[in-house]
Chains A and B, each alone.
Chain A
């Protein structure tokens, strides 16, 4: 939800190969793809596994568990964010990396500890788009 005085964050435009992912987040589900030939789990969504070129893939729901891999903390003004805010890369339990924001956590180097366990949460950006965000594992709400 947009905070007071801030514009809603950018809402992505889904494409045919990513539509299922954005349908999933709208239902509070984080959907990934797995190659049925070699077990490789990948992201962002594509019709074929980039490791093998195989089109024999399945879509499945991720656990929503992740850990904090790296980040920057932006100090310049952004129309949709209260500064400073961290732009983070997390690694999902299933393997893929994903850019996101860490919410329900102070946006400081002391609070944002690399490898800290996280869990997925969601923010509705528009009537059709919901983005996955992450919060410290076990945080309230």
Chain B
């Protein structure tokens, strides 16, 4: 192994620290370790933590990570982070990893700041204003996007229409009847500008994947699907604090890294899955991945380029809008990419050699991208 520890420090104080929140303890330790290493936050491109979310630390410290690890399995989590960091550094996923711990175990100040706790930033600076989950928050930037790029309500609705057409070819899809743009716009307003048919389903279900080394992959009964490239990032636990409400930094970083690692250009991609909790996600996704220019995704969907027979098939299982959406839909996007590369999808696209799968976590809080291929890299 070729990885070393170059900075290490504890919090400034230990014992009773009632004047620092739990997140501040993470941050205090982090800045002490950075000083010990002679580095600044700008030098960190990998973040691992437990007891808090890597999203919270990323936003709090002002990081822009390319690799994260939130493995949280108890007190040994930080040892596991070290091991995962070794693999990530050796793989070239990132250059400099920060691993933090902070716990207000005695004073209990700001405990639970890593999730929906009362002291979290989201609880302090978003919850008072009446958000009711993703339906009210995930699309909060879309009106700004529409003003900036001139996207119409009809173009947004056309995402749902295209995906329903794919779902109609898939016996396992929950909704299969064809719909029109008018149907979408006539459906009940859930949170303006989003109508019911622009919001994902709520279902039960699950999925699983098994991976092994490529050299063994041909010994199994199914055709192998190779991982060609990967990317990941996190930005902010609050959608109101996104750097740009019309674009996801996570999508841009994860997509860039995944395509770079795969050594592919956009023309090499035969099939795309973009996590669609709401109809604007495939629009942000296609632009952030660079398949179309800024403001071009709305017309791209409206013109039918992602539909069956279109030049860039997107969300061919019907997506979260029509196929299924359990809550953490990313597994189903991966499953459809695998089926398409194997040539086993209900709505099979011809000659899929490369499939790109883009996922979101939280409300643009996290993003990840996997490029799959039929040929061993």
Q: Which of A47, A52, A87 contacts B130 (CB 8 A)?
A: A87
Q: How far is the CA of A43 from the CA of B62 in the complex (A)?
A: 12
Most buried by A among B59, B131, B189, B241: B241
- The smallest beta-carbon distance between A55 and chain B, in angstroms, is 8
B112's nearest neighbour on chain A, judged by CB, is: A13
Partner-contacting stretch, out of A26-34, A56-64, A66-74? A66-74
Q: Which of A43-94 contact B (CB under 8 A)?
A: 43-44, 46-53, 55, 69-76, 78, 80-81, 84-85, 87-89
Q: Answer whether residue A39 sits at the interface, using C-beta atoms and an 8 A cutoff.
A: no
Complex contact A10–B62 (CB within 8 A) = no
Complex contact A44–B62 (CB within 8 A) = no
Partner-contacting stretch, out of B133-141, B252-260, B291-299, B344-352? B133-141
Flag A83-126 by CB within 8 Å of B: 1 or 0 each. 01101110000000111110000000100001100000000010
Q: Which of B41, B124, B147, B193 contacts A72 (CB 8 A)?
A: B193
Q: Which of B37-76 contact A (CB under 8 A)?
A: 40-42, 59-62
Q: Answer whether residue B186 sits at the interface, using C-beta atoms and an 8 A cutoff.
A: no
Q: How far is the CA of A70 from the CA of B192 in the complex (A)?
A: 11
The number of residue pairs between A and B whose CB atoms lie closer than 8 Å in the complex comes to 145
Q: How far is the CA of A110 from the CA of B31 in the complex (A)?
A: 48
> Given the interface contacts A74-B130, A114-B144, does A17 sit within 8 Å of B21 by beta carbon?
yes
Main secondary structure of the interface of A (DSSP, over half): loop
Q: A51 to chain B: which residues have CB within 8 Å? A: 62
Q: Which of A10, A48, A98, A114 contacts B240 (CB 8 A)?
A: A98
Q: How far is the CA of A74 from the CA of B192 in the complex (A)?
A: 7
Q: A98 to chain B: which residues have CB within 8 Å? A: 125, 240
Complex contact B140–A89 (CB within 8 A) = yes
- The smallest beta-carbon distance between B139 and chain A, in angstroms, is 6
Partner-contacting stretch, out of B115-123, B159-167, B208-216, B262-270? B115-123
Q: How large is the interface on B (under 10, 10 to 19, 20 to 34, 35 or more residues)?
A: 35 or more
Q: Answer whether residue B34 sits at the interface, using C-beta atoms and an 8 A cutoff.
A: yes
Q: How far is the CA of A126 from the CA of B55 in the complex (A)?
A: 30
Complex contact B20–A16 (CB within 8 A) = yes
Q: B192 to chain A: which residues have CB within 8 Å? A: 72-73, 75, 84, 109
Q: How large is the interface on A (under 10, 10 to 19, 20 to 34, 35 or more residues)?
A: 35 or more
Complex contact B143–A71 (CB within 8 A) = yes
Q: B136 to chain A: which residues have CB within 8 Å? A: 72, 74, 76, 87
Q: B193 to chain A: which residues have CB within 8 Å? A: 72, 109
B123's nearest neighbour on chain A, judged by CB, is: A12
B142's nearest neighbour on chain A, judged by CB, is: A70
Q: How far is the CA of A57 from the CA of B348 in the complex (A)?
A: 57
Complex contact B140–A70 (CB within 8 A) = yes
Q: B126 to chain A: which residues have CB within 8 Å? A: 99
Q: Which of B20, B42, B127, B194 contacts A12 (CB 8 A)?
A: B127
Flag B223-247 by CB within 8 Å of A: 1 or 0 each. 0000000000000001011000100
Q: Answer whether residue A131 sits at the interface, using C-beta atoms and an 8 A cutoff.
A: yes
Q: How far is the CA of A72 from the CA of B190 in the complex (A)?
A: 9
Q: Which of B27, B137, B245 contacts A69 (CB 8 A)?
A: B245
Q: Answer whether residue B128 sits at the interface, using C-beta atoms and an 8 A cutoff.
A: yes
> Given the interface contacts A50-B62, A53-B34, A73-B191, does A12 sit within 8 Å of B124 by beta carbon?
yes
- The smallest beta-carbon distance between B38 and chain A, in angstroms, is 13
Complex contact B31–A12 (CB within 8 A) = no
Complex contact B27–A47 (CB within 8 A) = yes
Complex contact B132–A76 (CB within 8 A) = yes
Q: Which of A13, A14, A97, A99 contacts B129 (CB 8 A)?
A: A99
Task: Supply 22 A–B pairs (Cβ within 8 Å), ascending by A.
Answer: A12-B123, A15-B21, A15-B23, A15-B110, A16-B19, A16-B21, A16-B109, A17-B24, A44-B238, A46-B60, A48-B27, A48-B31, A51-B62, A53-B31, A55-B31, A70-B141, A70-B142, A71-B143, A73-B189, A75-B189, A87-B129, A98-B125
